[in-house]
């Protein structure tokens, strides 16, 4: 794979638009949950969550993605739509009160939560199921006129450890094919192409080393004709690769910062327009260097 400049897009959101491709946009992660793999229970209080969102914007985040349900592998416990909304809506409202020009994304696969979050001011619906887990989501997003992220997920969280393993050459074609099907669903629901971003879904139903051929060939997703969002931050496939430095055990979350930067830069050089990260400032600095490399191509 030779480096190549990204295609440029204008991403149409609910009330505004974002330019994609001239520079990498950084999406900060905010999990308002008790059980997320990296920051569970840290931001369950709405005041703490709001303060952290504003801090990420101060550090340079272009978007903050707010989620109220964890899909943590092996420990996934579904929550009701009502509970999810109870967690996220006060944070969305408080962030926008403090920073009215903020761009917020709601991380949900539930149509009712998407509708209420966009009604509260979120601009983007980030659906990890790629419209696969709630039949009402495509028509809801079409009606809302919001930006949409369709992320590839292979099966549900509780199934991931038992999924058949993929050979290296199988990973990218599967992701590409299934993202194309999700795109078709969105377009048939009358969601305009200008509103759609695609996410290959690192770690979601891809077991450890299956993520590396996906990252190495991520640039081939360009043929789908849409902007790409990549989220590798603190993922377990990074921790597994660092085991030799941690006595044979996966690197703990706190020790995955350097690996996250390496994976994030690789994703940008392979065509990602947006990166989803837990640590905004280091990712922003890394993205500036990767963008400079792409500008020199």
Active-site residue identified among 235, 241, 256, 288: 235
* Per-residue pLDDT at 263: 98
Torsion 263-62-289-198 (CA) sign:
positive
Active-site residue identified among 87, 206, 256, 276: 276
* Per-residue pLDDT at 41: 53
Whole-angstrom distance, CA of residue 53 vs CA of residue 192: 29
Whole-angstrom distance, CA of residue 129 vs CA of residue 151: 6
**At what angle are helices 168-188 and 137-144 packed, to 10 degrees?**
60
Query: For the chain, what is the mean pLDDT?
Result: 94
* 123-156 burial: b if 16+ Cβ within 10 Å, else e: bbbbbbbbbbebeebbebbbebebbbbbbbbbeb
Q: Which domains does the chain have, with CATH numbers?
A: 9-295 (3.20.20.20)
Whole-angstrom distance, CA of residue 95 vs CA of residue 43: 14
φ/ψ region of 199 (left if φ > 0, alpha if ψ in -120 to 50, else beta) reads beta
Whole-angstrom distance, CA of residue 95 vs CA of residue 115: 18
pLDDT interval class at 73 (50, 70, 90): low
User: pLDDT tens-digit profile of 229-255?
Assistant: 999 999 999 999 999 999 999 999 999
Give the mean pLDDT of 180-207: 97
Whole-angstrom distance, CA of residue 130 vs CA of residue 118: 18
* Tokens at 273, concatenated: 């327009």
pLDDT interval class at 38 (50, 70, 90): low
Whole-angstrom distance, CA of residue 74 vs CA of residue 80: 19
pLDDT interval class at 35 (50, 70, 90): low
Q: Where are the beta strands (DSSP E) in the chain?
A: 9-12, 17-20, 25-31, 63-67, 104-107, 124-127, 147-151, 196-199, 229-230, 274-277
pLDDT interval class at 39 (50, 70, 90): low
* Per-residue pLDDT at 37: 52
User: pLDDT tens-digit profile of 139-185?
Assistant: 999 999 999 999 999 988 778 888 999 999 999 999 999 999 999 99
φ/ψ region of 84 (left if φ > 0, alpha if ψ in -120 to 50, else beta) reads alpha
User: pLDDT tens-digit profile of 92-147?
Assistant: 999 999 999 999 999 999 999 999 999 999 999 999 999 999 999 999 999 999 99
Residue with tokens 């996906």: 214
pLDDT above 90 (res 71): no
Whole-angstrom distance, CA of residue 60 vs CA of residue 22: 16
Task: Say what the pTM is.
Answer: 0.95
pLDDT above 70 (res 74): no
* Per-residue pLDDT at 1: 67
Antiparallel, parallel or unpaired: β 147-151 and 196-199:
parallel
pLDDT above 90 (res 42): no
Is 276 a residue of the active site?
yes
pLDDT interval class at 78 (50, 70, 90): confident
* Per-residue pLDDT at 166: 95
pLDDT above 90 (res 3): no
* Per-residue pLDDT at 232: 98
């Amino acid at each position: 794979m030779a480096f190549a400049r990204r295609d440029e897009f204008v991403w149409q959101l609910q009330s505004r638009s974002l330019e994609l491709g001239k520079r990498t946009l950084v999406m900060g992660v905010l999990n308002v949950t008790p059980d997320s793999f990296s920051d569970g229970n840290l931001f369950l209080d709405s005041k703490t969550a709001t303060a952290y969102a504003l801090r990420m914007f101060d550090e340079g985040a272009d978007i903050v993605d707010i989620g109220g349900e964890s899909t943590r592998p092996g420990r996934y416990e579904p929550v009701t739509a009502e509970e999810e909304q109870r967690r996220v809506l006060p944070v969305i409202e408080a962030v926008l009160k403090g920073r009215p020009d903020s761009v917020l994304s709601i991380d949900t696969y539930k149509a009712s939560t998407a509708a209420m979050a966009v009604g509260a001011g979120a601009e983007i619906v980030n659906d990890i199921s790629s419209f696969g887990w709630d039949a009402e989501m495509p028509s809801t997003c079409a009606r809302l006129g919001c930006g949409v992220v369709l992320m590839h997920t292979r099966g549900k969280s509780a199934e991931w450890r038992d999924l058949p393993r993929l050979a290296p050459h199988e990973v990218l074609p599967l992701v590409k094919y299934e993202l194309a099907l999700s795109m078709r669903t969105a377009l048939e629901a009358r969601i305009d192409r200008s509103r759609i971003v695609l996410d290959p879904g690192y770690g979601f139903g891809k077991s450890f080393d299956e993520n590396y051929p996906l990252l190495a060939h991520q640039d081939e997703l360009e043929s789908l004709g849409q902007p790409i969002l990549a989220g590798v931050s603190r993922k377990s496939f990074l921790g597994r690769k660092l085991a030799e430095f941690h006595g044979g055990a996966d690197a703990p979350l706190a020790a995955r910062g350097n690996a996250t930067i390496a994976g994030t830069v690789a994703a940008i050089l392979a065509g990602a327009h947006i990166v989803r990260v837990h640590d905004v400032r280091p990712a922003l600095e890394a993205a500036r260097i990767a963008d400079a490399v792409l500008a020199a191509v």
